[in-house]
Amino acid sequence: MEIRIATRKSELALWQARHVADKLGSLPEVSSVKLVPLSTRGDEILDKSLQKIGGKGLFIKELEVAMQSGAADIAVHSMKDVPAVMPEGFCIAAVLERANPHDAFLSADGTSFTDLPPGAKIGSSSLRRQAQLKAIRPDIDVIPLRGNVNTRLQKLADGHYDAIILACAGLERLGFDSHITTQFDVELMLPAAAQGVVGIECLESRDELRRIVAMLEDPESKCTTTAERAVAAALEANCQSPVASYAFIHEETLTIEALVASPDGTQLIRERVSGHVNDAEKLGHSVAQQLLEKGARELLIETSA
């Protein structure tokens, strides 16, 4: 079978697509793999926040259109950018082994987060990151940061920010891990759902294609991704909501921690549950229910207002 991969044109997106292409190309069932680079509205509109133009779903819409039209067979995504509820007719056929799930702190001169001067400017367009940063350091100024990884690093180097926050996984995949000043521990900065996970999307109706793609599935990553995305689904949160979730496995026990916060960090609700690995989705819903009982719904409504 020939498989065509729809992908964004950014350096990181192309790295991820080539990574999947290499894995698919090693399967005897696959005769050839071709990349279909596409431009998305999320990549084109850089002068407005994602919240104002429709959220991270803008990064994948054109890729789904390509699959619907027959121009591509699958799409490769950073799972943290994929809405918790998939559009009708589409599915995640496989998720790969998770890379580093943590957030990275990058400062212009090597200054640590705690040593930043009062009023320091930190670049991030994520309300999740903003809320957790402000909860620790209410004095800092979190200002929007858009663009690909290279663009963001250049803006830091040019002095537009004192520091920026990026995902460790993306930096490490592109060989930019030397730029990382420190890595946030999950106690300080809970990651986005499925951060560090590459997922493969295709049409639900493509049974044979789904069977082949499923050969790349990593069972542990599938389990933690299911639990973390279940939190967002139960909370009816989108990729831009100040919501975080992180799951890990020890032997047969899955532990998931999640939080909902106000963008200014003054209100933060955090809960944690553990259970059997076979109950990933149930555990995700369980921790979401605990958050709702503590007032998460009201907090999310205030954020979206």
What is the residue-wise DSSP string for 163-232? EEEEEHHHHHHTT-GGG-SEE--TTTSPPPTTTT-EEEEEETT-HHHHHHHGGG--HHHHHHHHHHHHHH
Whether 118 shows a pLDDT value over 90: the answer reads yes
Q: Across residues 222-241, what is the average pLDDT?
A: 92
Q: What is the pLDDT of residue 121?
A: 97
- pLDDT given for residue 259 in this prediction: 97
pLDDT digits (tens, 9 = 90+) for 98-109: 999 999 999 999
Structure tokens at 262: 């106000």
Bridge partners, residue 268, by sequence: 261
- Given the structure tokens 């639990």, which residue do they identify? 227
Task: Tell me how far the alpha carbon of residue 143 is from its chain's centroid.
Answer: 20
Confidence of residue 40 (pLDDT cuts 50, 70, 90): confident
Mean pLDDT of 268-292: 98
* CA dihedral for 23, 90, 257, 262, sign (positive or negative): positive
The predicted model scores a pTM of: 0.91
The confidence score (pLDDT) of residue 276 equals 98
What is the average pLDDT value for the chain, to the nearest integer?
A: 93
Residues of 156-182 as b/e, b for ≥16 C-beta within 10 angstroms? beeeebbbbbbbbbbbebbebeebbbb
Residue found by looking up tokens 């719904």 in the block:
297
Check if 2-97+197-217 and 103-183 are the same fold.
yes
The CATH architecture that domain 230-304 belongs to is 2-Layer Sandwich (3.30)
Nearest C-alpha neighbor of 241 from the set 251, 233, 253, 249:
233
Please work out, in degrees rounded to the nearest 5, the angle formed at the alpha carbon of residue 126 by the alpha carbons of 123 and 131.
Answer: 95
**Active-site positions?**
81
Give pLDDT, residue 288: 97
Residue 260's Cα: distance from chain center in Å?
A: 16
Look up the CATH number of domain 2-97+197-217. 3.40.190.10
Order of strands, edge to edge, in the sheet holding 90-95?
A: 32-38, 2-8, 74-78, 198-203, 90-95
Please write the tens of the pLDDT for every residue from 48-89.
Answer: 444 554 445 577 889 999 999 999 999 999 999 999 999 999
What does the domain layout of the chain look like in residue ranges?
2-97+197-217, 103-183, 230-304
pLDDT digits (tens, 9 = 90+) for 142-198: 999 989 999 999 999 999 999 999 999 999 999 999 999 999 999 999 999 999 999
- Res. 116: pLDDT tops 50: yes
Per CATH, the architecture of 103-183 is what?
Answer: 3-Layer(aba) Sandwich (3.40)
- The confidence score (pLDDT) of residue 305 equals 65
